């Protein structure tokens, strides 16, 4: 099979290998954090891929040794108003819907960090292939926010309520070996080979009946809209909290946050 690569935007690239589309988050100097421009480019790209009749499977990965280190905290240096907060959540929800309602199955190829929104992206994929050196973390609480992009739906459904509580409430990192035992990770690869292993899984999906894959994925996503509605209501309020302001400040000052529940 032949491969072709094109830049989908300054922060994203798309490769085609036969019927497999490889979407690569491409801002390695910032560990592929999910900035607002990258969110826009990712939504546009996922929509184009889903509408392409020649694509059967999508592989999502990150450039430079990391999958995605989470949201763009640097863009939160100033307080976020309610309207702007809801717009952020709406933009993220567009990506969630494209990933869980789209007709093409998704395989995540994870090297390095998948944290915060990066973990959310992983959990929206049907299969997670991870390097043995990968690390996973739901670090939202560290900046005074709740998990979003459907994470409160996808994470417990994948690893169970108890393990999900451990990740969401404690914010501790999980290594690949633990992730495999919990069901967070499906396939383990040697460092540097996660994409290669993900392509192997994608080729197996490529042979499956497309309509069956589409309707099965849609049924498995039932219930996520309720979680996203809660995100839209609650996360903008948390953006206004003093704890979020303290979390942002602590992040920039590289110190532990001192939360007061305000």
Chain-centroid distance, C-alpha 19? 23
> Does residue 89 sit within a domain?
yes
Please give the share of the chain, as a percent, with pLDDT higher than 90: 88
> Does residue 238 sit within a domain?
no
> Does residue 221 sit within a domain?
no
Q: Which two tokens stand for residue 15?
A: 């490769």
- Tell me the HSE value of 208 on the side-chain side, using a 13 A CA sphere: 19
β-strands 135-137, 174-175: how paired? antiparallel
For residue 162, give the CATH number of its domain: 3.90.226.10
> Does residue 31 sit within a domain?
yes
Q: Does the pLDDT at position 1 exceed 60?
A: no
The pLDDT value recorded for residue 10 is 86
> Which residue would you say has higher pLDDT here, 84 or 63?
63
Q: In what order do the strands lie in the sheet with 174-175?
A: 113-115, 135-137, 174-175
> Which residue would you say has higher pLDDT here, 84 or 42?
42
Domains identified in the chain, total number: 1
Query: The pTM is what?
Result: 0.93
> Does residue 121 sit within a domain?
yes
Tell me if residue 96 falls in helix, strand or coil: helix
Q: Per-residue pLDDT tens for 23-65? A: 999 999 999 999 999 999 999 999 999 999 999 999 999 999 9
The pLDDT value recorded for residue 45 is 96
Q: Does the pLDDT at position 256 exceed 50?
A: yes
CA distances from 233 to 18, 89, 90, 140, 228 (A): 42, 9, 11, 17, 9
Band (pLDDT 50/70/90 cuts) for residue 84 is confident
Q: Work out the number of other CB atoms within 10 angstroms of the CB of residue 162.
A: 9
> Does residue 171 sit within a domain?
yes
Band (pLDDT 50/70/90 cuts) for residue 158 is very high
Give the mean pLDDT of the chain. Answer: 93
The pLDDT value recorded for residue 8 is 55
CB neighbour list of residue 14: distance below 8 Å, 6 or more residues apart: 5, 6, 8, 21, 22, 23, 24, 45, 49
> Does residue 44 sit within a domain?
yes
Q: Which domain holds residue 54?
A: 3-192+209-214
The pLDDT value recorded for residue 9 is 64
> Does residue 82 sit within a domain?
yes
């Amino acid at each position: 099979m032949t491969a072709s690569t094109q830049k989908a935007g300054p922060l994203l690239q798309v490769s085609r290998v036969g019927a497999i589309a490889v979407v690569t988050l491409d801002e390695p100097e910032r560990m592929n954090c999910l900035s607002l421009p990258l969110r826009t480019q990712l939504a546009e790209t996922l929509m184009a891929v889903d509408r392409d009749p020649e694509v059967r499977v999508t592989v999502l990965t990150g450039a430079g040794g990391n999958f995605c280190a989470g949201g763009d905290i640097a863009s939160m240096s100033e307080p976020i108003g309610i309207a702007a907060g809801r717009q952020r959540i709406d933009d993220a929800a567009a990506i969630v819907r494209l990933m869980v309602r789209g007709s093409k199955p998704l395989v995540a190829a994870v090297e390095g960090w998948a944290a915060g929104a990066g973990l959310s992206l992983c959990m929206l994929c049907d299969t997670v292939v991870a390097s043995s050196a990968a690390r996973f973390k739901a670090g939202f609480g560290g900046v005074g926010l709740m998990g979003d992009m459907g994470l409160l739906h996808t994470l417990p459904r994948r690893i169970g309520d108890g393990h999900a509580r451990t990740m969401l409430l404690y914010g501790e990192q999980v290594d690949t070996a633990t992730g495999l035992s919990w069901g967070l990770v499906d396939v383990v690869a040697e460092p540097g080979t996660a994409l290669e292993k993900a392509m192997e899984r994608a080729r197996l999906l490529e042979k499956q009946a497309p309509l069956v894959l589409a309707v099965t994925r849609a049924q498995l996503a039932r219930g996520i809209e309720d979680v996203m509605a809660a995100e839209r209501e609650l996360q903008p309020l948390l953006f206004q909290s003093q704890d979020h302001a303290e979390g942002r400040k602590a992040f920039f000052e590289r110190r532990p946050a001192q939360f007061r529940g305000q």
